[in-house]
């Protein structure tokens, strides 16, 4: 299955929030949806899940307009929206029924996820009496109920301890392996890198970058290397390599190494040969591999 957004626009009054937003999500390979606060992530996710109407554009599934009656959608919003004075089991059962499960299946689903997230002992407690982390687990369960075809998770790890974060990772991994469409938004880049083969970066309501994460990293890493030496300082090494026109003058320090960009027609073999011939005692000589944080900062300009 493939979900596609084509030229989505959305305004609130005179404030245009989304401008010509287009990207694709394929089942079995999660999409990491990234952007600064206010960039348009939440509005986009609400449009995908039919919480908000778009002003124009199309949402397609396998090339045809999306039919929400034929799909099960799980949505975990960043702003949590459960009923504080209702008991845990009661409201999860209500959500399961609301999503189309019969009475028996709804009870089974709720019991399964309560057991899985170690919440069975809290099933008769009112939500208002639970800690922030326990409330977050209940909210997560509400999104996972009824085996959704499309799962949209906005900051799912907020408030979770390491044990419950691990359990959520396992659950999300299962949805991906079961060929579900998963859209995953988080400020924690390590989680995006762990789950997502594709990324999409939005800034001021416009898509800056969308595609395969490994391909994006490879394009950023082209002709870039990490270097340092045992017998000279980093800046001395930079001056020597620059003087030979082997690297561009925009080298920076990255974790006590020199991050360099090789000049045109220069290969890493050329640099290695020069360093060896000039008795430079190599400590690090490796291809640069950018992190997702590097990709994000290079496109948006600042770190979250």
The CATH number given to whatever domain includes residue 261 is 3.30.70
Whether residue 258 sits in one domain with residue 144: no
Residue 303 scores a pLDDT above 50: no
Whether residue 59 sits in one domain with residue 9: yes
Whether residue 249 sits in one domain with residue 162: no
Give the model's confidence band at 266: pLDDT under 50 very low, under 70 low, under 90 confident, else very high.
very high
Give the other-Cβ count within 10 Å of 51's Cβ.
14
Among 193, 212, 231, the domain boundary falls at 212
Q: Are 193 and 217 in contact (CB under 8 A)?
A: no
Whether residue 29 sits in one domain with residue 156: yes
Residue 90 phi/psi, 5° resolution?
-60, -45
Whether residue 100 sits in one domain with residue 149: yes
Q: Which pLDDT belongs to residue 81?
A: 76
Q: Which pLDDT belongs to residue 286?
A: 92
**Mean of the pLDDT values across residues 42-47?**
95
pLDDT single digits (tens) 77-123: 877 778 889 999 999 999 999 988 999 999 999 999 999 999 999 99
Residue 238 structural domain: 222-300
Task: Determine the Cα–Cα distance for residues 137 and 157; give it in Å rounded to an integer.
Answer: 9
Whether residue 80 sits in one domain with residue 125: yes
How high is the mean pLDDT of the chain? 91
In a domain, 217, yes or no: no
In a domain, 35, yes or no: yes
Task: Determine the Cα–Cα distance for residues 222 and 199; give it in Å rounded to an integer.
Answer: 19
pLDDT single digits (tens) 274-295: 999 999 999 999 988 888 888 8
Whether residue 256 sits in one domain with residue 186: no
When divided into structural domains, the chain yields a total of 2
Q: Which pLDDT belongs to residue 302?
A: 57
Classify residue 5 as exposed, middle or buried by CB count within 10 Å of its CB (0-12, 13-18, 19+). Answer: buried
Q: Which pLDDT belongs to residue 156?
A: 87
Q: Which pLDDT belongs to residue 159?
A: 76
Among 212, 231, 259, the domain boundary falls at 212
Give the model's confidence band at 33: pLDDT under 50 very low, under 70 low, under 90 confident, else very high.
very high
Tokens of 163: 């044990």
**Mean of the pLDDT values across residues 161-184?**
90
CATH, residue 191: 3.40.50.300
Whether residue 108 sits in one domain with residue 194: yes
Whether residue 79 sits in one domain with residue 145: yes
Pairing of strands 150-154, 73-76: parallel
Whether residue 191 sits in one domain with residue 116: yes
Tokens of 52: 């908000």
In the block, tokens 């045809």 appear at 64
Residue 247 phi/psi, 5° resolution?
-130, 160
Q: Which of 43-47, 198-202, 243-247, 252-256 has the lowest mean pLDDT?
A: 252-256
Whether residue 242 sits in one domain with residue 155: no
Task: Determine the Cα–Cα distance for residues 266 and 247; give it in Å rounded to an integer.
Answer: 8
pLDDT single digits (tens) 57-67: 999 999 999 99
Three-class secondary structure of residue 298 per DSSP? helix
Rounded percentage of the chain residues whose pLDDT exceeds 90:
68
Among 150, 183, 212, the domain boundary falls at 212
In the block, tokens 């687990």 appear at 137
Residue 37 scores a pLDDT above 90: no
Whether residue 59 sits in one domain with residue 19: yes
Give the model's confidence band at 304: pLDDT under 50 very low, under 70 low, under 90 confident, else very high.
very low
Quick one: DSSP state of residue 70?
S
Q: Which residue has the higher pLDDT, 212 or 191?
A: 212
In a domain, 183, yes or no: yes
């Amino acid at each position: 299955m493939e979900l596609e957004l084509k030229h989505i626009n959305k305004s609130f009054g005179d404030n245009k929030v989304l401008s010509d937003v287009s990207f694709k999500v394929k089942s079995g390979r999660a999409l990491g949806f990234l952007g600064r606060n206010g960039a348009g992530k939440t509005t986009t996710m609400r449009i995908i899940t039919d919480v908000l109407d778009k002003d124009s554009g199309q949402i397609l599934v396998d090339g045809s307009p999306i039919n929400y009656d034929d799909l099960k959608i799980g949505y975990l919003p960043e702003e949590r929206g459960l009923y504080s004075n209702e008991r845990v089991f009661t409201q999860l059962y209500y959500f399961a029924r609301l999503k189309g499960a019969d009475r028996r299946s709804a009870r089974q689903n709720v019991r399964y996820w309560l057991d899985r997230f170690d919440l069975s002992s809290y099933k008769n407690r009112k939500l208002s009496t639970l800690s922030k982390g326990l409330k977050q687990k209940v909210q997560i369960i509400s999104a996972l109920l009824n085996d959704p075809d499309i799962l949209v998770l906005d900051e799912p790890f907020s408030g979770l301890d390491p044990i419950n974060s691990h359990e959520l990772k396992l659950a999300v991994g299962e949805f991906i392996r079961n060929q579900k469409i998963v859209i995953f938004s988080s400020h924690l880049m390590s989680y995006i890198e762990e789950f997502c083969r594709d990324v999409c970066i939005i800034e001021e309501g416009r898509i800056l970058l969308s595609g395969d994460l490994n391909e994006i990293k490879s394009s950023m890493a082209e002709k870039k290397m990490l270097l340092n030496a045992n017998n000279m300082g980093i800046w001395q090494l930079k001056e020597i390599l620059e003087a030979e026109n082997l690297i561009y003058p925009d080298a920076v320090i990255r974790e006590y190494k020199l991050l360099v960009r090789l000049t045109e027609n220069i290969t890493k073999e050329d640099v290695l040969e020069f360093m060896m011939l000039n008795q430079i005692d190599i400590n690090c000589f490796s291809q640069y591999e950018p992190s997702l944080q590097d990709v994000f900062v290079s496109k948006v300009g600042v770190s979250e």
